[in-house]
Amino acid sequence: MNDVSSQRGVDSIPSKISRPKYIGEPVQRLEDPRLLTGAGRFTSDIRLERMVHLAFVRSDQAHAKISEIDFGDALEMPGVLAIYTAGDFTDIPDISAPSRMKNYHATHCPVLARDVVRYVGEPVAVVVATDRYLAEDAATSIVVEYEPLGASSNVDGALAAGAVQLHDDVPGNLVLERVFATGEAPEQIAAASHVVEGRFRLKRKSPLAMENRAYVVDYDRGRDALTLYGSTQIPGVVRDELSRLLGMPGNRIRVVAPDVGGGFGGKGSIYPEEILVVAIARRLARPVKYVSDRLEDLTSTSQGFDEVVKARLAFDDDGTFIALEAEVIGDIGAYSIYPWTAALEPVQVASFLPGPYRTPHYWGRVRAVCTPKPPTGPYRGVGRPMAVFALERLVDKAAAHLGMDRAEIRRRNLVRPEEFPHRIGSGIIWNRSGFMECLEAAVETIDYAGFKKRQEAARKEGRWIGQGIGTYAELTGIGSRIAVAPGMPINTGSETATVRIDATGAVVAMFATASHGQSLETTLAQIVAEELGVRPEDVQIMQGDTAVAVHGTGTYASRSAVIGGGAAIKSTRSLLTKVKRVAGRLFDVDPDRVETGDGEIFVPGTNHRIRFADLARAVYSDMATLPLDARETLESQESFDPYLGTTTSSTHIAEVEIDPETLAIRLTRFVVAEDCGKMINPQVVDGQVHGGVAQGVGVALLEELQYDETGQLLSASLADYLIPTSAEVPHIEVIHLETELPDNPGGFRGMGEGGTIGAPAAIANAVADALAHLDLDITELPITPSKLHRLIVDKRATKDME
């Protein structure tokens, strides 16, 4: 047998080669060269020959019957090719998100409003023109006549007896009702020595990605096949649903998510526009493009949160929690969004409400209510920001009630290391994570013990400063057991990876993930590189393309590192076994003696050494080097399903200063101690934490989609919908802990949503602490200077009446 190593003069090469480690290292992002030089390719960058453009006519009424649509003049305008209404797409079924959950009522959303509109911004008609400007001009000339039907835009009115129903098949506007019960919470609360309670509200938010939703369809008339380019987080789900709704085989539909400018959950659902661009491209047999503007994004992209939680916490004299009871009402908007269903957000509030604490008795009821507003859907943190805000406010109120230190009451109730795995009252199981360790690390870093002295000194100077803690746990990398529990129509709990070495020795790894800013090209390449023994820059990551994955649902819910990384490890290890087996034949040694590193394949202590390119040549091209039975395809495909998932935990501590005259709230310090298991790239983890906290600052202090009683959006521009800038976000100190690696192939925990989960509660508690001398309770977010003013005025009025 020929020894390939002899072809490279190996006698002069050292026999020992170090194997670099990439997991855990701050590898420079592989995406940066193209994204930082303007060479990225986003959907709106795509231009195709004969491409036409869409503009939508959207409802300006929240709930009304469509009497007439007059588009005669528009159809005659220059550049207009077609105008479509609901009657032109009767062959396309409505978008509906089914669930096997008890007491669940599915809604049915047409691709264009049919007979009735149910929120301001719902598409009613679509104009096709040779460019977007002409399409917009024609759309503004279309006249739609409505007959108002009335409806309440708040949940109390929607649930009231005799309220107008948005859907005939959703009785009482109640899409879902579910109860979680462990132990005897009502009885225990009634008998408890101490109880604190509150009514908490988290206002509706917009995901507000830098890039608005955008879609381009390239249609192949000869094959009746198409490629949909879209700013989506879930290309696999989009492909599968398009196949079902349009009756097309999946092998004729390719969905590609190119560079995507952020998602935050808002690009993680199916939208009517996605379906219509495809249907119109097939009908006209030419490319079609639609890019939403910021007004459309604010009024038609799914929105986040919007819940009210009424909760009571019972505890004994030493602060030990006994029972928790909660009523959760979620405003889900006009439709239950596909595939997540209306259960997604409000049910997760109730599921995660017990948090990281030992609470033997729990009762929680959740109701999801239809109102004439855009649908709610995934938003960074999903349910947990509301749950943590409500619970952490109750924990602070309990500490104040007993005159106990706020950190101490948490120490007494957090699940201890020896108590894992721990099942909370909703049924979620926490596996080992640094609940206590994160609290202690954050407290130590921020000089918690010395803050009271600083606060007292500031008060004497007339300054209002406060400090607040937000401690939480979340389930990440959720496997199939949890994913199918709500009865959703898809399984989101598994991922498949394919890793191959081609004939040139190049390494390609293919995933169904779809990055929208999480640095997955870098982190997945680090995993494959370390496992295989090459450099990260030698690995091409292909993702966001249904043509490279048999099945996959995309990127959301802090899953890509855990599930995608797990699949990467399994596939790469399987491929490495093949590499060693082939190399063993080439070197005439036991495959177990073969090692790899830095792009080389070698046998320690010998002069046997070749490059991956040499191995590939021997397998694929050089028929004289290996016998037929030793040549095998250098490719492996493996799936990973964590079944349940893994627990991530963190403690956030915020410090604020409030101007006594203007009531402006300024964050002065922010500390995060988090346990995300083994970090793949610390630089990326820091970036995710920083970005999440910035978003959490918006949740706590700025962002609010304000609707009037008729369902009209009052904050439909970035002049009214305020988001944090660098001026509002302080320097963020991050402490990383690895208390015990979870039981998955990489020892990874998800962490992409954590900043948004912990920050609002910490900031709310800090604001309440700063205002403690005024005896004000912070129960609604965002908390703004104008809202603080109303609280102070109301408090003074109450005292005057007393």
Which has the closest alpha carbon to 512: 606, 603, 417, 639? 639
**4-40+494-640 has CATH 3.40.720.10 classification:** no
What pLDDT, on a 0 to 100 scale, did the predictor assign at position 12?
37
Q: What is the pLDDT of residues 494-548, one digit of tens each?
A: 999 999 999 999 999 999 999 999 999 999 999 999 999 999 999 999 999 999 9
Q: What is the CATH number of domain 208-300?
A: 3.30.365.10
Instruction: In whole angstroms, give the CA distance from residue 36 to residue 772.
Output: 46
The tens digit of pLDDT for each residue in 730-761 reads 999 999 999 999 999 999 999 999 999 999 99
The CA distances from residue 414 to 207, 436, 582, in Å, are 32, 7, 52
Directed axis angle between helix 754-770 and helix 682-701, to 10°? 50
1: pLDDT confidence band, cut at 50, 70 and 90? Answer: very low
Per-residue confidence band for 356, with pLDDT thresholds at 50, 70 and 90: very high
Distance CA 680, CA 683 (A): 9
In this model, does residue 15 exceed pLDDT 70? no
Q: How far is CA 709 from CA 75, 154, 158, 670, in A?
A: 35, 7, 11, 37
Give CA separation, 293 vs 18, 214, 575, in Å.
52, 9, 45
Tell me the per-residue pLDDT of 449-461, one tens digit each, with 9 for 90 and over. Answer: 999 999 999 999 9
Mean pLDDT of 188-194: 98
CA 544, chain centre distance (Å)? 16
Asked whether the beta carbons of 444 and 411 are under 8 A apart, the reply is: no
Q: Cβ(28)–Cβ(88) under 8 Å?
A: no
Higher-pLDDT residue of 644 and 529 is: 529
pLDDT top residue among 11 and 577: 577
Q: In whole angstroms, what is the distance from residue 107 CA to residue 105 CA?
A: 7
Q: Two tokens at 786? A: 């104008």
Query: Quick check: 142 and 74 in contact, CB under 8 A?
Result: yes
CA 101 – CA 99 distance, rounded (Å):
5
| Fold (CATH) for 307-481+643-801 | Aldehyde Oxidoreductase; domain 4 (3.30.365)
Q: At what angle do helices 612-620 and 565-587 cross, to 10 degrees?
A: 70
Give the E-state strand segments of 277-402 in sequence order: 288-291, 307-315, 321-333, 361-370
Bond prior to 682 in cis (omega within 30° of 0): no
Give 58's strand partners: 123
Length of the chain, in residues: 802
User: What is the rounded CA–CA span in Å between residue 48 and residue 376?
Assistant: 34
Q: What is the phi/psi pair of residue 222, to 5°?
A: -65, -35
Is-same-fold flag (4-40+494-640; 52-152)? no
Amino acid 490: pLDDT: 83
How many C-beta atoms surround the C-beta of residue 75 within 10 A?
A: 14
Predicted TM-score (pTM) above 0.85: yes
In the chain, where are the structural domains located?
4-40+494-640, 52-152, 208-300, 307-481+643-801
Q: Which residue in this structure is represented by tokens 């009304």?
A: 64
52-152 falls under which CATH superfamily?
Answer: Aldehyde oxidase/xanthine dehydrogenase, a/b hammerhead (3.90.1170.50)
pLDDT in tens, 35-71: 999 999 999 999 999 999 999 999 999 999 999 999 9
Instruction: Please say if the pLDDT value at position 570 is more than 80.
Output: yes
The pLDDT value recorded for residue 2 is 44
